[in-house]
Structure 1
Amino acid sequence: MAESLADYSLKRTIKKTKDGGLKKVGVVGCGNMGQQIVRLISQHGLDVVFIDLSAERIGEIIKEIEASLDKVINKWGLTESEKRAVMSRIKGSTDYNEIKDCEMIIESINIKKRGSSVPYRMDVFKKIESVVSEDTIIASNNATLMISDLASVLRHPERAVGLNFITPASKVKIVEVIRGLQTSDSALDFTVRFVKMLDKRPITLVESPGNISTRLFVPLINEACELLMEGVASVSCIDETMKLGFGLQLGPFELADRVGIDKVQKWMDNLYLEFGTDKFKPSPIIKRLVRANLLGRKVSRGFYNYENEKIISQAINVIEFNL
């Protein structure tokens, strides 16, 4: 069951439901991470309305979420009846009016073009604010952008909060919660309580490009690429060193494949543009893989080869990138 927000004595006035707390969340943009967020919210007993571009795409998203739940069922992590309950709380639409009664909206659009996604996200923020009430929290799920930039287009910028769900959202135990320059205490407090409802630990921070996680991850993957290009070690040896030696769940190359190498490059581009230091500049390996559309697990090849989303072999030999 969803944890009641009534117990937290929030300053923000929220709409009361029969259980006295938050009941409905909107998600705008339902790519890979958007789907993970939708599923996570629904699995914790909340209704979710997601917005995407077309009825056809909405149908595809529903099928993709169902398929992801089927994988959990196959691992004895969910029953068929629980799956039906989760899916019953999920609704998709192309109409922003469908999210007007949500207590929180999470923008999670996925722009595939290179370059800044800020103008697109600003447009989404304006569309959201045009239909929701004045006390609805508007959050943006992203890894490298500044929430204050997005909030600048709002009539009520104090309601804007940054979020960063880390993939895989169902397993990673933290969510970064980011305060912008004008974010109110009550909006931040409400968002922290929302994250706790999802059984996640909120990591609160003041906005900075890359937050904590991405700002640390990007130099790690770049340095791993340097080791590979220098011929120091193989992809698998570098990953095993970080997993077995330092206790990471995934090595840098596995994580890049999981996130999507194109997304990793976008993170690097954004951080390099912001800070101008070489540690954030995309490695030549990253650029080559993106140009070749070898984007990681989602296309079955990146730093590793995949079959049914499982690693079967490393895809890159040291000599290939020994510059």
Structure 2
Amino acid sequence: MAEIKEPIEGYGLSKKQGERALFSRIGVVGCGRDGRSIVNLTAQSGLEVVFIEISQEKIQDALSEIEHSLDTKIENWGLTQSEKRATMGRITGSLDYNDLKDCDFVIECIRYEANGERSIALRKEVFRRLEEVLAPDAVIATNATTVIISELSADLVHKERCVSIHFPMSHSDARLLEIVKGIFTTSEVLEKVIRFAHLIKHIPVEVRESSGLVSMRLMVVMLNEACHILMENLASLEDIDKEFTIIYGQRYGIFELADLQGIEKIVMLMEDMFREYGDKKYKASPILWRLYHSKQYGVKERRGFYIYDETGKRLGVNNLI
């Protein structure tokens, strides 16, 4: 039998009872759609997760949504009842940042504003509060694509432990994690996050600090071009999506993907990238602005490029575009 040379305790397993292991507990601040996905994914990977919300009602809503997603997975033969119970047993919701004190990795994932914007000042406040309760070697991350981690961490004492990560969660098989090392981030912290990616069975991709990273810069340009094709009446919305899925081997069409991501988030992201790069390819199409101004944001509002029922099932094309 081959000798195992790498210590297993580095991957969340302890060689003796009572010894604190790396990634023994993960924290998430904000349990909206993206936060829930991260909590769910991490708990299913066998890690304990504590998430912070602003009210008991939001905590219960988050737990209910996570349980519902697990039930859906059971219905599709992707999970057993015992696995669901084990997953839910690893998840704790809290109103108190002090409950994160034993976490060695905390991900900021606060909600977007109603118009799709995310406050840098509010995120900085989250980072400040995290630094007050976490051990100096605990990693602090933001799950964002347009906010520069060096800016968020600039006022912290231990700014070297901050990174930016992004889960491009278009579907459950998109197991890739973009990791951004800031100006102050140490190589040791970067290695920890790479190990975390492997632990949750994601492929780590290192990306330099930039607005939109790689995944969203690719996505918004394709979406803009699809909108131009639609405006030129070259093909129907459904047929454009059909070509995108069949020719390029994608699970979702580009318009479906936009509805899943949230039109309001995409438009604000594109505005950020246009300001950052000054390239008109990032300027949102008039169709996107029409949906944005009419608050037809996609799946969560039950109307975007398509219309949806209360479960998120697609019913047909939105003829109000």
What TM-score does the superposition give when structure 2 sets the normalisation length?
0.91
Correspondence 1:131 to 2:133: yes
Residue 86 of structure 2 corresponds to residue 85 of structure 1: yes
Residue 42 of structure 2 is matched in structure 1 by 41
- For residues 106 and 29 of structure 1, the distance between their equivalents in structure 2, rounded to whole angstroms, comes to 9
5+ residue gaps in structure 1? 11-15
Task: Determine the C-alpha separation between the residues in 2 that align with 1:294 and 1:155.
Answer: 42
Kindly indicate whether the alpha-carbon contact (under 8 Å) linking 1:58 and 1:92 is maintained by their aligned counterparts in 2: yes
Contact 1:30 1:109 (8 Å CA) reproduced: yes
Contact 1:6/1:21 (<8 A) preserved: no
- The CA distance in 1 between the partners of 2:317 and 2:89, in whole Å, is 40
The whole-number CA distance in structure 1 between the counterparts of 2:252 and 2:306 is 13
Per-residue deviation, 1:157:
1.1
Decide whether the 8 Å contact of 1:106 with 1:139 is kept in 2.
Answer: yes
Letter in 2 for 1:142: A
Question: 2:118 and 2:37 mapped to 1: Cα distance?
Answer: 23
What is the aligned partner in structure 2 of residue 100 from structure 1? Answer: 101
Question: Paired residue for 2:313?
Answer: 310
Indicate conservation of the 8 Å contact 1:116/1:270, yes or no: no
Q: How does 1:52-67 map to 2 (within 5 A)?
A: 52-67=53-68
Q: Specify whether residues 21 and 194 from structure 1 end up closer, same or farther in structure 2 by C-alpha distance, changes over 3 A only.
A: same
> What number of residue pairs does the alignment pair up?
309
Q: Select the residue among 172, 175, 178 that pairs with 1:176.
A: 178
Distance 1:53-1:201 versus aligned 2 partners, 3 A rule: same
Deviations 1:144-199 (A, max 9, x none): 22111111121111100110011246321211011111110000000000011001
CA displacement at 1:21 relative to structure 2: 3.8
Q: Secondary structure at the match of 2:235?
A: coil
Percent sequence identity over matched residues? 40
1:200 to 196, 199, 202: 202
- Written as runs of structure 1 = structure 2, the 5 A alignment for 1:117-196 is 117-168=119-170, 170-196=172-198
Structure 1: distance between partners of 2:7 and 2:211: 33
CA RMSD of superposed structures (Å): 1.9
Once the two structures are superposed, residues 189-233 of structure 1 have per-residue CA deviations (whole angstroms, 9 ceiling, x without a partner) of 000000110011011121111110011111111111111112121
**In the TM superposition, what is the alpha-carbon distance from 1:254 to its structure 2 partner?**
0.8
Structure 2 letter corresponding to 1:227: I
Q: Is residue 247 of structure 1 aligned with residue 249 of structure 2?
A: yes
User: Within 1, Cα distance between the matches of 2:251 and 2:7?
Assistant: 36
1:18 to 1:155, Cα distance in 2 relative to 1, 3 A:
closer
